[in-house]
Structure 1
Amino acid sequence: MVPAAWLVHAAAELLQEGGRDALSTRAVSAAAGVQAPTLDRTFGDKDGLLDAVATYGFKSYLEGKHALGETDDPVHDLRRGWDLHVEFCLHQPAFYMLMYGEPRVREARQEADRMLRRIVERIAEAGRLRVPVEQAAQLVHATGMGVILSFLASPPEQRDPDLITAAREHVIATITTGNADRASDIPSRAIALKAVLEKEPGDVLTPAEHAMLAEWLDRLAR
């Protein structure tokens, strides 16, 4: 039996060369040197194949994310993560469109979302977040994905890389304070306290008290 990894690799090469439209069952079967039923037995259907190829792309993307590591400045880490995201998009546009342009949610994509949320949580813990963690993470994700998909959908001669940078700085300015020393307003303090308590809840408060405190902090944050 032909290994699934070989079939995915063959499909990935077709994707890079011709985009999503190149991933027909016939083309992938020919590239892998197998009969079409082999793909059905391995992946179930074409959607299963697309999921496998997208997961293959996410593996490379997440390896780059993990390689970044962490610095003492979580806002700087957010910029680095954004820039790596953009770099992947520019070098692997067909993969990016498959990974982020498809409506289905994949486990690998959920891991990428968790990594983004962790960076945002670190910004909150440092007292530098203006809005609640979940809202900030969603805003960064939506802004980044939106501006990149728009960039890829534009004719090459109309693409402006500076727009992506401007979007990055706009969203960072929207969700963060200038620095920890100036993060003295009540909402930022409430967001920071909630982030720390969620990370290290301790045993001083009961679960009900934790829930009540979290609700109060959310009110203060708004």
Structure 2
Amino acid sequence: MSDTRQEILAATAALLEQVGAEQVSIRDVCQAAGVTAPTVYHHFGDKKELLEAVAAEGFRRYLATKRTRRPSADPLADLRRGWADHIGFGLQHPAFYRLMYGTPNAEERPSAQEGHRLLVGILDRLAEAGRLRMPPEQAAAMIHTASVGTTLRLLSTQKNPWAEGLADRMRDAVFNAVLRQPEQSGNDEPAVAELARALLATLSVGRAAGLTPGEHGILLELLAKLAP
């Protein structure tokens, strides 16, 4: 990435923090970056493309660390670290984050899809270990929705007293909803239903050994009836 392009992106991100995307103009960007309008149009075309580039730069920074990390021996620890990384990035880079996740069709960006695949990969490992109460894709949707909603909420209300500890409380709530705890005794619901959900989640990432596709489908259908 050229120095000029990077300087324009940095200047735009700084302006977004001050006045928001609606108020930022190409003229403002030129003054902040010390370039002319033709230079901005050369690199980005128009304001819409410039903001898309800022969002893409945000995803590049966000995913840079994730791409270099190797899975640990504990997928639950990886999941908790992923939650903390997500919230932390949003609070440290609010201008990037709002464009990454606070705009229409944000989930359709290729970089957003890559982040989703990384999350599902961790959840696949938890499902294989019998720790999920639902299929990985469903769990990923819940976790992602909770993390984005929590981050955007904190960006607008960080100074409110009730915001302290909100990220941890939301993490615990959603993790409890999607994860089966090893020590769970089944006092709150029938043990059969709890085990059926865990097995259903595990089989969603791989077919049971020795079963034909038809038998596998029948097993999934039976488990779904036992795990409402």
> What TM-score, normalized to structure 2?
0.79
Greater Cα shift, 161-170 or 3-12? 3-12
Give CA deviations for 1:13-45 in whole Å, capped at 9, x if unaligned.
Answer: 434565545642111122333322332343232
C-alpha separation in 2, matches of 1:211 and 1:10: 56
Task: Read off the aligned partner of 1:147 and give its amino acid letter.
Answer: T
Q: Is the 8 A contact 1:64 1:84 kept in 2?
A: no
Task: Read off the aligned partner of 1:131 and give its amino acid letter.
Answer: M
Q: Which residue of 1 aligns with 2:188?
A: none
C-alpha separation in 2, matches of 1:20 and 1:146: 19
Tell me which of 159, 167, 170 is aligned to 1:167: 170
Task: Read off the aligned partner of 2:150 and give its amino acid letter.
Answer: V
Aligned residues: 217
> What TM-score, normalized to structure 1?
0.81
Task: Read off the aligned partner of 2:221 and give its amino acid letter.
Answer: W
Q: Which residue of 2 aligns with 1:121?
A: 124
Task: Read off the aligned partner of 1:185 and give its amino acid letter.
Answer: L
**Matched position secondary structure for 2:204:** helix
Greater Cα shift, 26-35 or 93-102? 26-35
Note the residue ranges of structure 2 that are not aligned, 5 or more in a row.
186-190
Q: Select the structure that is richer in helix.
A: 1
Map of 1:16-95 to 2, 5 A cutoff? 16=17, 19-20=20-21, 23-95=24-96
Q: Which residue of 2 aligns with 1:154?
A: 157
Q: Is the 8 A contact 1:16 1:95 kept in 2?
A: no
Deviation at 1:132, TM superposition (A): 1.8
Identity of aligned residues (%): 37
Runs of 4+ in 1 over 6 A off after TM superposition: 180-184
**Could you say what the CA RMSD is over the residues aligned between the two structures, in angstroms?**
3.2
